[in-house]
Chain A
C-alpha cells in the first residue's frame, strides 16, 4: 500500500486536526453524551463534511482513499464524531447519486459545506438487520406522500436538518428526503447507549407527516434495493476505516502504557504475553487497513467488486477493532476499566461497530454466499 503525495499530505492534515481538536475533548463528549456544535463547525470549515461531494458542487471531492483516511483519523480520536461523517456522507452521496436536479440544487451545496447536516433513518424497533420489515407507511395524497411511523437509533438525529427516511409505499419500499421542520416530524434524544454516546442519537416520530412528491428519492420500490443499498455501502466503507482508527488508537495507547508501567520488576512491554497481544494488534490493524485500502481503490475504479470487498473490509476491521480494544483494556488493567484512559471508550465504541451498517452476522451471510457462488461458477465453467 503506497499513498500518493496528496493522500499523504491529507493524512498528515487529518491527524493534526484530530490531535488538536478531537482527542482532547472526546472523553468529555462521551461522558456528557453531546457533540459540541463548535466541533461540527470545525469539520465543516475544513471541508470534511463535503468529502464525498464533488468540487464545484460545494464539496471537497476527496477520492475514496482520502475519504477513508479521514475516517481512520476521526475514528482514532472519536467514533461519535466519525459517525457524523458517516451518516452525513451517506445522505450527501445519496442526493449526489440518486437525487433529482431539484434536490441537488436545494441540498447538495449546503450538505457539502456543512451548512446542513444529514441523517439516515431506516432502522425501526422491529426492523434492524431485516430492513424489509419496516412498518413506516407512505400513502399518496395529491401532490404529497403522507408518512406515518417511528424510526429508532438515528445517529445525529438530534442535530440533523435533513433525514433520508425509508417507508412502505404502494409500489414497495421507497426513500424520501424530509426536512426537520416538516409538520408531523418530531425527534427525541436517545441516551444511555453502550457506545458512540456523543452521536446525538434520536428517535424520529412521523405522524401524518406530509412530504412533497418531489422529495421522493429514486423511484417507488427502489428504496432498499438501490437507495439504501448504495448509502449503506458508503456507510460500511466509512465504518470500516473508522475501525482501523479505533485499532490504531488502542495500539498507540497500549504501546505507550506498556512502555511506562512496570509489573514484577519489568516493563509490561518486556512480558511475552503482552508482546503477543501487541503483535496481534499490529498485524490486525495493518491487515484491516489493507482491506480498506483495497476496497477504496476498487471504489474509485467503479468496480462492481468494490461492494463485496467493502463488506469484507467492514467485517474484518470491526472484528479487529473489537479484539484490539479488548486486549488494550487488558493491557491497561484496572486503569483501562476507568474513565481516566480512553481505551474503555474505544472498547465500548468498537462493540457498536459490530452491530451497525450490517452486523457481523449479516456480513458473514453475504460473504459466504458470494464465496459459494464463486465456487459454483467455477464448477459450472470447469465441470
Chain B
C-alpha cells in the first residue's frame, strides 16, 4: 500500500508542476485534474498496478485522493478479485 502511494505521489507530482500532494488532498476539488489528466490517471493505474478500471469503478470517491486510489488498487489486486489484467 505504501509503495503504491509512493508511486502515486510521484506521478501526480510530475503532472502538477512538482507540487507535493497530501495523501488526503482532494485533487479534483483542488482543480488539478482536467479531462486529459483524468484519463492519464486511469492509464497510470492500469499500467503500473496491472488492474483494469471499468464502468463500475467510475466513482469520484475512488479517485479523489491518493489514499482513495491506493485503496482501489488494493481492492482490485486482492486475491479474491478477478478484475486485474
Contacts and interface: CB of A to CB of B under 8 A. Distances in A.
A52 to B, nearest CB: 16
A225 B54 CA distance: 14
B24 interface: no
Contacts of A380: 13, 17-19
A256 to B, nearest CB: 40
A98 interface: yes
Nearest to B43: A304
Nearest to A232: B35
Interface residue range, chain B:
20 to 34
A105 interface: no
Interface of A: 98-100, 217-219, 221-222, 224-226, 228-230, 233, 301-304, 306-308, 311, 366, 372-374, 376-381
Nearest to B46: A302
13 contacts: A98-B58, A218-B55, A219-B59, A226-B42, A230-B39, A302-B43, A307-B36, A307-B43, A374-B14, A376-B18, A377-B14, A377-B17, A380-B19
Contacts of A366: 36
B24 to A, nearest CB: 21
Nearest to B36: A307
Contact of A226 (B14, B19, B38, B47): B38
Contacts of B14: 373-374, 377
Given A308-B40, A377-B13, 11 more contacts: A98-B54, A98-B58, A225-B33, A302-B43, A302-B46, A302-B47, A373-B14, A377-B15, A379-B18, A380-B13, A380-B18
Q: Is the interface of B mostly helix, strand, loop or mixed?
A: helix
Contact of B55 (A98, A233, A379): A98
Contacts of A226: 35, 38-39, 42, 58
Contacts of A233: 39
A307 B39 contact: yes
B18 A100 contact: no
Contacts of B18: 376-381
A225 B47 contact: no
B40 to A, nearest CB: 4
A303 B55 contact: no
B29 interface: no
B54 to A, nearest CB: 7
